[in-house]
């Protein structure tokens, strides 16, 4: 996520974007930690089954939260609204049914396989129609593969959801290394480009020689790197976080409409007021990770604030997300102890070790432009880096498109990939 063109400082995502332009705690009890043996290409079925003692420990930690008193009337201005947090924690402790959510997640076909020394968790659902087009879908932070429960059905079985059989996809949804059930690296060097090579290797292992890539947030950055590094096999790139640097050597606002200039100001306000987490996770991820790994209340506060701020919800997250949806995602981070390892992607993007891939991305690219997306660039900027063949201005929606506006996202994905299948 980048700062405005006039701002010299770099955020964590800006470092990742620079990479684009130029080219965990030990032994979590429920991580999919296989023996990551060199040369092991086995694809192993996987089901979530969090031990009872992990859930009991979580409830015990939620019994006596130490939530500080707020300033009078501060609401969400200084961070997470403490009154809302108390309600969420109470619901998490007393009413949230993890086993029901576990069953819902296990309805998605899950697997692990070892790539680049790590056990990689992924969802892989094949369409009922033979010869369906393969689609690689990548999440971001602070999300997870659970973001995609509303779109996997329409993508893989369009007929059952009012669509056309010809639009069916075989869907592959990996968990980024260090997120939820994908093993966390124990050494530095897993920047977005290296993660992209892991994902490309996964698609090859599954037998897909031609496929599409889709993503938002870090999924946008990683998918871009997949298109750059595996261009011979990527037929199309679809992004719902469309960001790029201003063309070099030019006035960054030259040729922009008044509406585009106004939106850049909104983005700059976000960078000025809402990116403290980037600085922390991009510089000292272990410090914040220790706190989040030890306190479920801290973890909830850290994550729910992002869902509320980044969505198109007019300040009330529960107009878009249910408590169960929010807490399922938070609980995934808790039970896998991946708060620290997932935060490290911000640090890795600031200290990339992968060789850059120069030049413009010629893979046909689509942007689904949701109006409340927090990290946004004008189409003119994107066209300097990408071969933009489709740009859809959405009527509503924010950063978490697959959860907020699943039908709009699915419709745009279908329409774009009809042109490149």
Distance, CA of 322 to chain centre:
19
288 vs 280: CA distance, rounded Å: 7
Q: Active-site residue 233, yes or no?
A: no
Distances (CA, A) of 56 to 51, 88, 340: 9, 18, 22
Q: Are residues 340 and 2 in contact, defined by beta-carbon separation less than 8 angstroms?
A: no
Q: Locate 286 and state its tokens.
A: 């272990």
Q: Active-site residue 124, yes or no?
A: no
Of the listed 208, 346, 347, 386, which one is catalytic? 346
Q: Beginning with the edge strand found earlier in the chain, give each strand of the sheet holding 118-125 in spatial order.
A: 43-46, 110-115, 118-125, 169-174, 133-138, 211-215, 234-239, 361-369, 386-393
Q: Active-site residue 346, yes or no?
A: yes
Distance, CA of 59 to chain centre:
27
Q: Locate 386 and state its tokens.
A: 């990408």
Q: Locate 90 and state its tokens.
A: 């109470």
Q: Are residues 193 and 15 in contact, defined by beta-carbon separation less than 8 angstroms?
A: no
Of the listed 170, 233, 399, 412, which one is catalytic? 399
Q: Locate 51 and state its tokens.
A: 């031990």
Of the listed 81, 167, 191, 217, which one is catalytic? 217
Tell me the three state secondary structure of residue 63.
Answer: coil
Closest CA relative to residue 366, chosen from 414, 326, 325 = 414
DSSP 258-313: HHHHHHHHHHHHHHHHS-HHHHHHHH-HHHHHHHHHH-HHHHHHHHHHHHHHHSSS
Which residues, including other chains, have CB under 8 Å from residue 168's CB and lie 6 or more apart? Answer: 127, 128, 129, 132, 133, 155, 156, 157, 158, 159
Closest CA relative to residue 273, chosen from 79, 9, 15, 49 = 79
Residue 257 CB coordination number (10 Å):
11
Q: Locate 344 and state its tokens.
A: 């490290």
Q: Which residues pair with 123 in a beta bridge?
A: 110, 173
Strands 43-46 and 234-239: unpaired
- Residues carrying an active site annotation: 217, 346, 399
């Amino acid at each position: 996520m980048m700062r405005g063109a006039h701002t010299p400082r770099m955020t964590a995502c800006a470092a990742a974007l620079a990479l684009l332009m130029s080219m965990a705690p030990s032994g979590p009890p429920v991580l999919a930690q296989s023996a990551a043996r060199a040369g092991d290409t086995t694809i192993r079925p996987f089901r979530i089954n969090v031990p009872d003692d992990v859930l009991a420990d979580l409830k015990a930690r939620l019994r006596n939260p130490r939530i500080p008193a707020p300033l009078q009337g501060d609401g969400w201005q200084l961070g997470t609204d403490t009154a809302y947090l108390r309600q969420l924690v109470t619901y998490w402790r007393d009413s949230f049914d993890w086993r029901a959510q576990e069953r819902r997640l296990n309805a998605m076909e899950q697997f692990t396989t070892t790539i680049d020394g790590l056990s990689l968790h992924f969802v892989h659902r094949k369409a009922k129609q033979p010869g369906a087009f393969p689609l690689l879908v990548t999440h971001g932070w602070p999300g997870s593969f659970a973001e995609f429960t509303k779109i996997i059905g329409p993508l893989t079985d369009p007929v059952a959801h009012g669509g056309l059989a010809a639009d069916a996809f075989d869907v592959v949804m990996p968990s980024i290394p260090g997120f939820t059930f994908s093993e966390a690296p124990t050494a530095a060097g897993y920047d977005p480009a290296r993660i992209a090579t892991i994902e490309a290797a996964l698609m090859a292992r599954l037998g897909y020689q031609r496929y599409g890539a889709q993503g938002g947030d870090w999924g946008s950055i990683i998918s871009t790197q997949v298109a750059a590094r595996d261009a011979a096999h990527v037929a199309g790139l679809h992004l719902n976080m469309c960001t790029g640097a201003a063309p070099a050597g030019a006035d960054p606002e030259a040729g922009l409409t008044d509406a585009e200039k106004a939106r850049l100001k909104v983005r700059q306000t976000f960078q000025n007021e809402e990116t403290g987490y980037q600085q922390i996770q991009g510089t000292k991820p272990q410090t914040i990770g220790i706190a989040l790994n030890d306190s479920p209340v801290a973890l909830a506060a850290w994550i729910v604030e992002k869902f509320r701020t980044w969505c198109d919800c007019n300040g009330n997250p529960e107009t878009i997300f249910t408590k169960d949806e929010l807490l399922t995602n938070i609980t995934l981070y808790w039970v896998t102890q991946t708060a620290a390892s997932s935060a490290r992607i911000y640090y890795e993007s600031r200290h990339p070790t992968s060789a850059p891939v120069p030049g413009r991305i010629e893979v046909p690219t689509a942007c689904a432009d949701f109006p409340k997306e927090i990290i946004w660039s004008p189409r003119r900027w994107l066209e300097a880096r990408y071969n933009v063949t489709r740009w859809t201005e959405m009527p509503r929606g924010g950063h978490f498109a697959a959860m907020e506006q699943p039908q709009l996202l699915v419709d745009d994905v279908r329409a774009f990939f009809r042109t490149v299948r």
